[in-house]
Amino acid sequence: MPLIAQWIMLIIGWAGTLVGLVAFFHALLQRSDAFTAAERKTKPIWLAITGAGTVAMGLFGFGGAGTIFWLAGIVAVLVYMVDVRPKLIEVQRRGKNW
């Protein structure tokens, strides 16, 4: 494999792990009742999902034998980032109506 392709795969792998860390720490800093108000799973479940996804991406690199685990991790983290996170932000902006 060309060197540039190896570098690109390495960058993709580490970028996914970085997104996972951002998702985990975002979930960690949110109020527990915001998750139920947003009609999403509980905070401990999302901490487990984003944490496990991040660990999977850190352990199994993109493009290696464990790519399927890396893909499962990135999917889990991206579900949080594109579905749960915006809903949490919306619910918390509404204020005390919930």
The predicted pLDDT at position 64 comes to 77
Does the structure show a pLDDT above 70 at 15? yes
pLDDT tens-place string over residues 23-79: 999 999 999 988 988 888 999 999 999 999 999 999 988 877 888 999 999 999 999
The predicted pLDDT at position 68 comes to 93
Does the structure show a pLDDT above 90 at 97? no
Q: What is the mean pLDDT of residues 83-89?
A: 93
The predicted pLDDT at position 96 comes to 59
What share of residues in the chain are helix, strand, coil (percent, to 5)?
Answer: 80, 0, 20
The predicted pLDDT at position 16 comes to 92
User: Angle at which helices 3-29 and 67-79 pack, to 10 degrees?
Assistant: 40
pTM attached to this predicted model: 0.85
Q: Is residue 15 a contact partner of residue 74, using CB atoms and an 8 Å limit?
A: no
Residue 20 identity = G
